[in-house]
Amino acid sequence: MIDLKNLTIKKARLALDAGEFSAVDLAQTYLNEIKNKNKELNAYLEVYNDVLDQAKVADDRIAKGESSPLLGIPLAIKDNILIKGKFVSAASKILANYVASYDATVITKLKKQGAVFLGRTNMDEFAMGGSTENSAYGVTKNPHDLKRVAGGSSGGAIVAVAANLALGALGSDTGGSVREPAAFCGIVGMKPTYGRVSRYGLITMGSSLDCIGQIAKNTEDVQIIFDAISGHDVLDSTSITDTTYPKQIFNKELVIGIPYDLAIGEGVSPEVRENFTQAVEKLKKLGFKTKNISLKNLDMSLAIYYIIMPAEASTNLARFDGVRYGLHKDGKNLLEDYMFTKGAGFGKEVRRRILLGTYVLSHGYYDAYYGKAQMVRNELKKEFTKAFESVDFIITPTAPFVAWKIGEKSDPVSVWLADIFTVTANIVGVPAISLPSGFLEIEGKKLPLGIQFMASHGREDLLFEISKRFEEINEK
Amino acid sequence: MDIEDVENLAELARIELSGDEKKEILSDMKGILEYVKQIEKVKMPIRQLADEKNEYNNLINVWREDKIESREFSKELILGQFPDTQDGFLKVKKIL
């Protein structure tokens, strides 16, 4: 019997290479666990029928003496990343029977390493949401308290890892969709620098914000996945190279910047504030210098985000018109086909965001909303560049509160407020990671809390360094 | 914003909405716009316009050579995703 609870990608690698168990054994153990738990948690929308075949291929490669970090490692993939020949629906009815005709670049890279794909995981429809309540296929539940949301939009991928239904996962992060659920479920999630991981084959939401994120139980595993999938890709024109952002060294020792106004400000629950303050104390004990920082337009992040993201999403989602793929509803003419298909295929939140995006881009409102948001976004970028001259990290809580009860938040703006700390990294394009920082006990359940580190463009290496050190002290 | 604005947006976005839904979206939109409207308060320095232009000039287009590179795609798989086909082509309704 393989102890999945304490297993990591690193440990599994050693065990597979030493022949302690085979990739087939490992995959079968996960399949059994999925069978036991998935009905209740709803993490996977589909478990692939060729998992054991994939594992067998990995075993053959291991037998030949091959080894790569992810060879034979079972992973879960968010339902918006394309795997050739497999269904991919973005948890939407409009793509219910869509079969991918090519591999995303990240999938090509993982296949080369010999990773085993267990299945596709639940999400908010088209990644629009922070709770996975907007999936067309039912909500994903938080393994720490089944009455609560797992967070989102990558809720299924996060729960797969948190509930030991996969060793690692890929999600997507447009405004916090990997980091917020990671915090809600007590695991590690990272959004890399914009462009560092190819998005070829990711179903788009907001193209200037979208990133493919890495999900695992600890930083070391997240780093293994990041190393496997990052790198320049000619198929993604926004892809960057290792030299796009020169590594500048401003400080002799690592300094953590704390935007106190925001981090423990209005709307942040007292428990989150306390946990955050404790985390900062721990970091000080580790020898990190801290510095209070203040960014003029930081409090505008959420407003910028909820203008730019729907604008881009409304443009991107125009392609789902019932003509080339996906759902088709027949009307009297082509216009009716469009109207009926989109009306029937898109869920409520998606329709809301498309309309909002259409509004902020429309004549008469463009300058006041979209144009202005772009300007403030540029200002915020400059403020971040400036801030990273005097600090190496910016730390905040990952979310202002713990996972809420399913169905508790019905007003869209109240759900969006969960993204207050995470959207900024997407707006300015810097890498950010969420780490578990403790628990809050409510009604006899221990609910995880998380903290977030941001670093300057291209400095995932610094995030890994500080995260590993924080993990060591936090576990004690 | 009123119900006619919602109807207009729905038409622009090509989305069929029911009467109840229009009302619901109207009320949601009011709340959302109220929130994002705070962006109006941000004062932009006058140098902004000139700066913006510079910044856009710093952005580069990403080009590739105009030559065909063979990439493997399965015609059957792509055709299989079309709602309607005829003789191996995508079939659409007439436009005019």
pLDDT digits (tens, 9 = 90+) for A214-238: 999 999 999 999 999 999 999 999 9
Residues on chain B touching A352 (C-beta within 8 angstroms): 25, 28-29, 32
How distant, in Å, are the alpha carbons of A261, A269, A397 from that of A273?
Answer: 12, 6, 8
Contact state of A352 with B29 under an 8 Å Cβ cutoff: yes
Test mutation, A87, A244, A359, A423, chain B, max B CBs within 10 A:
A359
pLDDT digits (tens, 9 = 90+) for B55-65: 655 677 888 88
pLDDT of residue A413: 87
Among chain A residues, CA nearest to B85: A324
Report residue A258: phi and psi, to 5°: -120, 110
Give the side-chain half-sphere CA count within 13 A for A434.
33
Calpha distance B37→A77 (Å, rounded): 37
pLDDT of residue B62: 84
State the amino acid at position A387 in one-letter form: A
Task: Measure B35 CA to nearest chain A CA, in Å.
Answer: 7
Q: Which of A172, A177, A198, A437 is catalytic?
A: A177
Query: Which of A102, A306, A346 lies nearest to residue B15, judging by beta carbons?
Result: A346
Which A residues in the span 354-373 are in contact with B, Cβ-Cβ below 8 Å? 354-356, 358-360, 362, 368-369, 372-373
How distant, in Å, are the alpha carbons of A27, A59, A171, A208, A222 from that of A114?
Answer: 13, 9, 19, 31, 17
Cβ of residue B50 closer than 8 Å to a chain A Cβ? no
pLDDT of residue A177: 98
Calpha distance A367→A373 (Å, rounded): 9
Hey, what are A227's tokens?
């190393």
How distant, in Å, are the alpha carbons of A332, A336, A392, B84 from that of B93?
Answer: 10, 11, 57, 10
Task: Measure A441 CA to nearest chain B CA, in Å.
Answer: 32
Q: Which of A37, A78, A141, A282 is catalytic?
A: A78
pLDDT at residue B48 greater than cutoff 80: no
Which A residues in the span 267-326 are in contact with B, Cβ-Cβ below 8 Å? 297, 300, 302-304, 306-307, 314, 318, 321-326
pLDDT of residue A275: 97
State the amino acid at position B74 in one-letter form: S
Among chain A residues, CA nearest to B74: A101
Calpha distance A325→B50 (Å, rounded): 44
Among chain A residues, CA nearest to B40: A368
Largest Cα separation within chain B, whole Å, is 60
pLDDT digits (tens, 9 = 90+) for A366-423: 999 999 999 999 999 999 999 999 999 999 999 999 999 999 998 888 889 999 999 9
Task: Measure B80 CA to nearest chain A CA, in Å.
Answer: 8
Mean pLDDT along residues B32-50: 82
Among chain B residues, CA nearest to A411: B28
Q: The complex's ipTM?
A: 0.91
Query: Which of B13, B38, B94 lies nearest to residue A314, judging by beta carbons?
Result: B13
CB atoms within 10 A of CB A364: 7
Cβ of residue A379 closer than 8 Å to a chain B Cβ? yes
pLDDT digits (tens, 9 = 90+) for A192-202: 999 999 999 99
Please, which residues bridge with residue A230 across strands? Answer: A197
pLDDT of residue B84: 93
- First and final C-alpha spacing in chain B: 34
Residues on chain A touching B5 (C-beta within 8 angstroms): 359
Q: Are A221 and A211 in contact (CB under 8 A)?
A: no
Residues on chain A touching B64 (C-beta within 8 angstroms): 234
pLDDT of residue B53: 56
Question: B80: part of which helix (H) or strand (E)?
Answer: helix B75-81
Q: Are A396 and A272 in contact (CB under 8 A)?
A: no
Active site residue A177: yes
Of A427, A419, A475, the C-alpha closest to A183 is A419
pLDDT of residue B57: 53
Of A52, A51, A46, the C-alpha closest to A97 is A46
Q: Which of A135, A153, A239, A456 is catalytic?
A: A153
Residues on chain A touching B17 (C-beta within 8 angstroms): 343, 351
pLDDT digits (tens, 9 = 90+) for A124-170: 999 999 999 999 999 999 999 999 999 999 999 999 999 999 999 99
Q: How many CB pairs under 8 A join A and B?
A: 128
Active site residue A153: yes
Cβ of residue A352 closer than 8 Å to a chain B Cβ? yes
pLDDT of residue B76: 92
Q: Considering only residues A253 and A398, tell me which one the structure prediction assigns the higher pLDDT.
A: A398
Among chain A residues, CA nearest to B61: A237
Contact state of B94 with A238 under an 8 Å Cβ cutoff: no
pLDDT of residue A232: 96
Please, which residues bridge with residue A191 across strands? Answer: A432
**What is the percent of chain A with per-residue pLDDT over 90, rounded to a whole number?**
93
Cβ of residue A378 closer than 8 Å to a chain B Cβ? yes
Query: Which of A101, A318, A369 lies nearest to residue B74, judging by beta carbons?
Result: A101
Residue A243's pLDDT band, with cuts at 50, 70 and 90, is confident
Question: B5: part of which helix (H) or strand (E)?
Answer: helix B3-12
**What is the percent of chain B with per-residue pLDDT over 90, rounded to a whole number?**
59
pLDDT digits (tens, 9 = 90+) for A301-323: 999 999 999 999 999 999 999 99
pLDDT of residue A18: 96
Residue B46's pLDDT band, with cuts at 50, 70 and 90, is low
Residue owning tokens 């916090």: A176
pLDDT at residue B44 greater than cutoff 90: no
Average pLDDT over chain A, rounded to whole?
96
Active site residue A22: no
pLDDT digits (tens, 9 = 90+) for A81-108: 999 999 999 999 999 999 999 999 999 9
Q: Is A18 exposed, middle or buried (CB count within 10 Å of its CB: 0-12, 13-18, 19+)? A: exposed
Mean pLDDT along residues A460-464: 97
Q: Is A452 exposed, middle or buried (CB count within 10 Å of its CB: 0-12, 13-18, 19+)? A: buried
Contact state of B77 with A342 under an 8 Å Cβ cutoff: no
pLDDT at residue A359 greater than cutoff 60: yes
Calpha distance A30→A143 (Å, rounded): 16
In a 3-state reduction of DSSP, which class is residue B86?
strand
Residue A37's pLDDT band, with cuts at 50, 70 and 90, is very high
| Core vs surface per residue A47-86: b (16+ CB within 10 A) or e | bbeebeebbbbbbebbeeeeebbbbbbbbbbbbbbbbbeb
Query: Which of A303, A328, A348 lies nearest to residue B39, judging by beta carbons?
Result: A303
Hey, what are A348's tokens?
């409520």
Hey, what are A115's tokens?
């990773």
DSSP-derived pairing of the beta strands A255-258 and A168-173: unpaired
